[in-house]
Amino acid sequence: MNIIAQKTSLLGSITVPGSKSHTIRALLLATMAEGTSHIKNPLPSADCLSTAAAVPLVGAEIDLSLSVEGEPGTEWIVSGAGKNIHLPEDVINVGNSGSLLYFLSSIAATFDGWSIFTGDESIRRRPVHHVVEALNQLGAICNTARPGVDGCPLIIHGPIKAGTVRTDGTVSSQYISGMMMAGTLLDGELHIELSAPTETPYLTMTQKWLEKVGVKCSISDDYKHITVQGPVTINAFETTIPSDWEAVAFPLVAALIAPDSNIVIEHIDGSGTQGDDAIVDVLRSVGGNIVWDKTAETITVKTSRLTTENLPNKELHVAMSPFPDAICALAVAACFIEGTTILEDAAVCRRKETDRLSALASELKKIGAEVEEGKDYLKIFGHSPLLADGSANPDFKIHGATVESYLDHRIAMSMACAGLGLKANERITVKDAECCNVSFPHFFEVMNNIGANFAEPN
């Protein structure tokens, strides 16, 4: 499916789906629990549905409360495997979900026997050598099925044992979270020593989830030392999944750059467990008109002239390793910011659904952006559509084009949002845009409810 985006104004209220990161953690911990857990406001995205399809293979039962039309409901019920959790009964196909791959592979490694993990074309390109090395330190026999290829299929023979594992943590935080959850099944303390931890807010999220279900878990202030005490009997729980900050980023940026826009994003998570909420302060620093009412759980966003003029050296520097999934939205915003934006410490972004640094550099150049791609950064020389006096900026050169999504949901959504800030009679066509369903089901319909006017070509 191709989607056309062009200049428009956004008005009204919007609610984004529940958090993918929270939903997947809730599903896996409910699977490990004794009894029946109730998960409200789950994200019914492709990644979460891949998780729901996988957990019965290790002993859980799940009721998605399907509608007559087959749509997942707003409360999912998981009958946990508890002490009967077992080796996967079949190959685990994670679809497009890196979270599921990296989380469940460590859990599967606690069992005696072979587990096999694979996924779609994108997943089979994502690195797994760090998982192999870490699990082998704990006693697994772990390798990739294709000699010399750092990607799935991933084959694992357990069981791993409690002890100490040393790894750098630079590739991703997800396999660290997976080992933390696996630690609840081990007899003794699991110590994880990280030399260069990244995506640290997600490690905190996992810690809070483990503590919520009664697990003793500690993380040092520098995130280099993690301890999980096992074994633990996890009891069933009831939880409501908070809104997904990774999804909030797209209407947030869209409203800032689409002319004459004024929107309210509702049910905002103010718990601090999602690192992507840092995007608010980043965009405020360049003049974004954003009001976050934590009591009302709302964010109000209005069209703004964005500029780096009040920042040191008139440059916006954003370290991306704590919240790398925001790079797509921020890269698009940077095209509309007067001044230089440097999205740095971003090497982890090359190991997502696609190499996002390369993909963003390529596609943003197609729409007229001036972009410099480095080993671990993107430097974007942007211009506001408006001068300080409100008149049109002759240096603003962003224009329409046909762009690739690379089957990457965040690239598809960000490039579609870029189209909303174009000049009149310009349009961006995003190819293979249906991949948005991975993290934001019905993204285009939801955005159209506030005036985005996304449409398929005639």
Strand partners, 157: 114, 141
pTM of the predicted protein model = 0.82
Structure tokens at 378: 């993107």
Strand partners, 155: 116, 143
Which uninterrupted H or E stretch holds 279?
A: helix 279-284
Helix (H, G, I), strand (E, B) or coil at 457: coil
Give the active site residue among 325, 355, 408, 432.
Answer: 325
Helix (H, G, I), strand (E, B) or coil at 1: coil
* CA–CA gap between residue 273 and residue 199 (Å, rounded): 12
The pLDDT assigned to 352 comes to 87
Percent of the chain residues topping a pLDDT of 70: 100
| Lookup result for tokens 């072979």 | 114
* CA–CA gap between residue 67 and residue 153 (Å, rounded): 34
- Which residues does the chain have with pLDDT short of 70? none
| Lookup result for tokens 């704590």 | 322
Do residues 342 and 318 make contact, with C-beta atoms less than 8 angstroms apart?
yes
Do residues 48 and 300 make contact, with C-beta atoms less than 8 angstroms apart?
no
Q: What is the pLDDT of residues 250-303, one digit of tens each?
A: 999 999 999 999 999 998 988 888 889 999 999 999 999 999 999 999 999 999
Interior CA angle at 73 toward 71 and 76, to 5°? 125
Nearest to 380 by CA among 410, 406, 357: 357
Decide if 281 is catalytic. no
Q: Cα separations (Å) of 245 from 145, 268, 304, 352?
A: 35, 8, 21, 17
What are the backbone angles phi and psi of residue 419, rounded to the nearest 5°?
-65, -25
Q: What is the pLDDT of residues 399-453, one digit of tens each?
A: 999 999 999 999 999 999 999 999 999 999 999 999 998 889 899 999 999 999 9
- The number of beta carbons lying within 10 Å of the beta carbon of residue 89 is 10
The pLDDT assigned to 36 comes to 98
Report the DSSP pairing between strands 75-79 and 36-40: antiparallel
Nearest to 456 by CA among 2, 81, 138: 2
Helix (H, G, I), strand (E, B) or coil at 257: helix
**CB within 8 A of 206, min separation 6: which ones?**
25, 176, 177, 180, 181
* CA–CA gap between residue 134 and residue 101 (Å, rounded): 14
* CA–CA gap between residue 81 and residue 107 (Å, rounded): 13
Report the DSSP pairing between strands 188-194 and 225-230: antiparallel
* CA–CA gap between residue 204 and residue 170 (Å, rounded): 16
Nearest to 242 by CA among 39, 13, 37: 39
- The number of beta carbons lying within 10 Å of the beta carbon of residue 452 is 27
* CA–CA gap between residue 290 and residue 354 (Å, rounded): 30
Strand partners, 436: none
* CA–CA gap between residue 234 and residue 7 (Å, rounded): 51
Which DSSP category does 224 fall into? -
**CB within 8 A of 223, min separation 6: which ones?**
169, 194, 197, 200, 203
Residues, the chain, total?
A: 458
